[in-house]
């Protein structure tokens, strides 16, 4: 039975982290003053992709790129780095810390006008395809500096930590 329990813990952790990563993306978009309509219109595609790749352990990073619509240049980037060995001996508690996301928003400062966003996932090789997702390229982080903010969501051995480029 121990194996069955472990499987359930992993499944629940994957589900918990997947949904709450999309919630965190929405929290970032709304708090940054950006139009959340596009994110809302892709909710299922985003969640299915993230849940699938967390389940297969291909997802390495989920990224919110915020760029100038005038120049296309990246002005801010929020990274959720996935850790599959976050708390291997934990008790299976599922947790989320929205305050970490709120802190990241506060510390990253006000955005310039006329910005929009893209959501990208960095996967390891051989990831399964998910309908609605296509291949893409990250914008250059040249002239930006990355700062780690802290862990935002996790469960069992699965965790995600937030970093900000500004």
Partner 1 sequence: MTIITRRIAAISTRTSTQTWAVITELLAPAGDEIRPQLDLAADTACMLIAEEHAKDNPIVITGCGPQVRIYTLHGDDAIDGASTNEHTLTLTAQSDWQLSLPATGIDHALAISAVDSIGHITIYDPTAGAARSARAGTPARNQSVIIDLTALEE
Cβ proximity to partner 1, 13 vs 74, nearer residue: 13
**Neighbour count for residue 52 (Cβ, 10 Å):** 19
Stretch that binds partner 1, among 38-46, 82-90, 102-110, 144-152 (CB under 8 A): 38-46
Q: Which of 5, 6, 33, 40 binds partner 1 (CB under 8 A)?
A: 40
Cβ proximity to partner 1, 47 vs 83, nearer residue: 47
Asked if residue 13 binds partner 1 (CB under 8 A), the reply is yes
Helix (H) or strand (E) holding 1: none
Helices 43-55 and 2-31, interaxial angle, to 10°? 140
Stretch that binds partner 1, among 45-53, 100-108, 114-122, 125-133 (CB under 8 A): 45-53
CA distance 133 to 159: 23
- Are the C-beta atoms of 164 and 149 separated by less than 8 Å? yes
In the structure encoding, which two tokens stand for residue 77, read together? 């980037």
Binding site for partner 1 (CB under 8 A): 8, 12-13, 15-16, 18-20, 22-23, 26, 30, 36-37, 40-44, 47-48, 51, 94, 155
């Amino acid at each position: 039975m121990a194996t069955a329990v472990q499987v359930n813990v992993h499944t629940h952790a994957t589900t918990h982290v997947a949904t709450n990563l999309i919630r965190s993306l929405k929290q970032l978009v709304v708090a940054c003053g950006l139009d959340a309509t596009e994110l809302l219109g892709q909710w299922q595609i985003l969640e299915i992709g993230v849940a699938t790749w967390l389940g297969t352990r291909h997802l390495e990073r989920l990224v919110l790129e915020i760029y100038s619509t005038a120049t296309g240049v990246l002005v801010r980037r929020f990274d959720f780095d996935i850790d599959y060995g976050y708390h291997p001996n934990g008790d299976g508690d599922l947790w989320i810390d929205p305050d970490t996301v709120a802190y990241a928003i506060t510390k990253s400062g006000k955005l310039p006008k006329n910005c929009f966003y893209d959501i990208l996932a960095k996967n390891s090789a051989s990831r399964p395809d998910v309908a609605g997702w296509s291949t893409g390229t990250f914008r250059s982080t040249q002239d930006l500096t990355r700062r780690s903010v802290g862990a935002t969501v996790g469960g069992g051995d699965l965790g995600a930590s937030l970093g900000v480029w500004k």
